[in-house]
Amino acid sequence: MSTTTTVIVVAVVVLLLIAVVAVALASRRKTHRRHQAAEVRAEAGTHADSIRSSREELAVAESRADMARAEAERAEREAAEARRGFDQDRALQEDRLREADALDPDVDHRADGYDPGTGRHRTA
C-alpha cells in the first residue's frame, strides 16, 4: 500500500468515525429532548387541579357579574321610572303655580324672568 492510499483510508476511517459520533450525538440529543418534553408535560399535568379550580372560580365570578348586571339594570329601570314620576309631579306643581299666578292680579306672569309661584321676576 502506498502512502497516498494509507492517507485516504485513514481519512475515510476518520470521516466515518466523525459521522458515527455525530449520529450518536444527534440520537442522544433527541433522547434528551424527549426526556425534557416528558418532564415539561408532567409538570404541566400537575397544574390540572389549579386550572380546574380557576375555571370554577371564573364561572362563579361570571355568574355573580351577570347577577350584578341584572340587578343594576333593574335598579336603573326603577330610577328612570322614579325620575319620570318626579318630573311629572314637578311639572304638575309648576302648572298649578302658573295657574295661580295667572289668577293673581298682583303677579305679572307674562314678564321676562317670571318665576312661577314666587310672585316675582327672576333676575339674570
Residue 107: band (very low, low, confident or very high) from pLDDT cuts 50, 70, 90: confident
Instruction: Give the pLDDT confidence of 9-30 residue by residue, as tens digits.
Output: 999 999 999 999 999 999 999 9
117: in domain: no
Number of domains in the chain: 2
Nearest C-alpha neighbor of 94 from the set 115, 119, 70: 115
Average pLDDT over residues 56-67: 97
Predicted model pTM: 0.49
Say yes or no: 61 and 96 in one domain: yes
Please report where in the chains the cell 314637578 appears, as a residue. Answer: 90
21: in domain: yes
7: in domain: yes
Q: Which range of residues forms the domain containing residue 32?
A: 1-39
Residue 100 burial (CB count, 10 A): 14
111: in domain: no
